[in-house]
Amino acid sequence: MNFVEAIAKKRDGGVLARDEVAAFVRGASDGSLPPEQLAAMLMAICCRGMDADETRCLTEEMLHSGEEWSLAADRPEVVDKHSTGGVGDTVSLILAPMLAATGVPVAMMAGRGLGHSQGTLDKLDAMPGWNSIRSRDETLDLVDSCGAAIIAQTDNVAPADRTLYALRDITGTVPSLPLIVGSIMSKKLALGAGTLILDVKWGSGAFRKTEVSARELAVALRQVAVDSGVRCEALITDMNQPLGPALGTACEMREALAVLSGGGDARLREVTVGLCRGAMVLRGWDAGEATVALDRVLEDGSALAAWERIAVAHGADPDPGLLDHPRSTVEVLASAEGFVTACDGEDLGRVAAEVGAGRRTVDEELAHGAGVLVHARIGDRIEVGQPVATLLVGEREIDQDRLCDRIRCAFTFGPDEIQPPKLILGAADDSAI
């Protein structure tokens, strides 16, 4: 096959045949296609899209490109979770120990940062000693010993996705719906948990900018899961501003620990509890009883204790004092006043990435102490000179004044009080989970 012709076909809006999709996936997994051609096809797909059959074919080919663990065959009770990505999205770090503390075991194959979002694995790497490279048997052992496994995608699980995931991050093709579906569902189906809860974000800080497009993605993801025999629900949640106040790796770990200790950010807690409840309902719990149990594990210390067990089992020291701190901090002061009417979450995420919490190249090291702390939320009244954020400066050389100006410009002010946006808009199947 002349793959250049397949690229041109998709570039011009054509529908790829299965053998063309298979060649694309095979080329990503075995290196038979150069990165330039893979990147070109990613951009063509991003610009032209894929129909339902192409998307299904892409997902299946990516799934079958490597091992299929099928955890449900040995542990049918295990729950998996995935987020479509956003800013200040610290949910996975809180959800896993919360569910484990209620007796619901978790196995998650987490990812690294994409674009303006910080990845769960990157946040866990801020903890000295954390080992996310696990085999299937080791994953089951972690589930049995501490109630949760948070692992990286291995070389043998959906290997095509590893290559394409990294290329999407540096080619501006992250938001593409078929690429999102293929990436997420190939890994989720390869892991093979029997229950899957999805967090589909929408808004300025998400990859899906409108509620309509987020719902479209939620329905597509859920349908692929259900068609594959997986109990699945997809909640649609707000990302028109950072979910939590911390944007980075070490700072998000600290925020997760604050929530697990019964405090922390109320918005972050609300979304996490909602997703936990959704997973528990899929597992047969009554929604009200699930809520009571989740509130209890946060208040009585059992969620934090579960986290400490999970960290130790993954090879890490759970002492928060070992997390990196920034080299310096800069308060960013408001130059306008009024009520915050909008907050550009994506630009704040890009600032956090530029200061050291994200990668500019595939192999770049992160500065775990770097990031942004957000102090102003939509609906807040802000005066001139009041801090709207704090820039956490790492070792990377940056234009500090320019980044502070970008942070200021991320906030829009108006004279009239407004209500903060609703955090959980509902589920893909219109249920009330």
CATH code for position 267: 3.40.1030.10
The C-alpha atoms of residue 184 and residue 228 are separated, in whole angstroms, by 14
pLDDT in tens, 128-150: 999 999 999 999 999 999 999 99
- Average pLDDT of 74-79? 97
371 membership: H or E segment, kind and range: strand 371-374
Q: Are residues 237 and 171 in the same domain?
A: yes
pLDDT digits (tens, 9 = 90+) for 225-245: 999 999 999 999 999 999 999
- Residues 401 and 257 both lie in one domain: no
**Residue 116 bears catalytic tag:** no
* Residues linked to residue 16 through DSSP beta bridges, in sequence order: none
Active site residue 161: yes
| Share in percent of the chain as helix, strand, coil (round to 5) | 45, 15, 35
Residue 176 CA to residue 278 CA, distance in Å, equals 26
Q: What range defines the domain where residue 246 resides?
A: 71-320
302 flagged as catalytic: no
The answer on 255 and 120 residing in a single domain is yes
Same domain, 40 and 80: no
So what's the pLDDT on residue 432?
A: 46
Instruction: Please give the average per-residue pLDDT across 260-271, as a whole number.
Output: 97
CATH number of domain containing 330: 3.90.1170.30
- 368 assigned to active site: no
Q: Are residues 244 and 284 in the same domain?
A: yes
Of the residues 80, 89, 122, 161, which is catalytic? 161
- Rounded to 10 degrees, the C-alpha dihedral 196/269/409/207 comes to 0
For the CA atoms of the chain, what is the radius of gyration? 21
431 pLDDT band, cuts 50/70/90, is low
90: three-class secondary structure by DSSP: coil
Could you tell me if 177 and 312 lie in one domain? Answer: yes
Q: How many CB atoms lie within 10 A of CB 409?
A: 11
> 250-260 and 266-282 are packed helices; what angle lies between their axes, rounded to 10 degrees?
70
Name the DSSP letter for residue 117.
Answer: B
Provide the edge-to-edge strand list for the sheet that holds 231-238: 148-152, 106-110, 79-83, 195-202, 231-238, 424-427
Does the pLDDT of residue 304 top 50, yes or no?
yes
Report how far residue 297's alpha carbon sits from residue 147's, in angstroms, rounded to the nearest whole number. Answer: 14
292, 339: one domain: no
Residues 306 and 341 in one domain: no
d(CA 18, CA 1): 12
Identify whether residues 237 and 383 lie together within a single domain. no
Quick one: pLDDT at residue 283? 97
Active-site residue (options: 65, 132, 183, 204): 183
Residue 393 has pLDDT above 90, yes or no: yes
Task: State the average pLDDT over residues 375-389.
Answer: 97
* Residue finishing a domain among 281, 303, 320: 320
Which helix (H) or strand (E) segment holds residue 41: the answer is helix 35-48
Considering the domain architecture, whether residues 211 and 339 belong to the same structural domain is answered as no
Catalytic residue among 82, 136, 267, 368: 82
Q: Which of 116, 187, 267, 269 is catalytic?
A: 187
Examine the residue annotation and report whether 64 is marked as an active-site residue of this protein. no
Distance of alpha carbon 119 from alpha carbon 357, whole angstroms: 10
* 297 and 329 housed in the same domain: no
E strand or H helix at 80, and its extent? strand 79-83
Domain finish residue from 320, 355, 372: 320
**What's the total number of domains in the chain?**
3
Give the distance from CA 386 to its chain's centroid: 31
Is the pLDDT reported for residue 279 higher than 50? Answer: yes
- Does residue 221 sit in the same domain as residue 146? yes
- In whole numbers, what is the pLDDT of the chain averaged over residues? 94
Given the residues 81, 134, 168, 314, select the one marked as catalytic.
168
Beta pairing partners, 374: 389
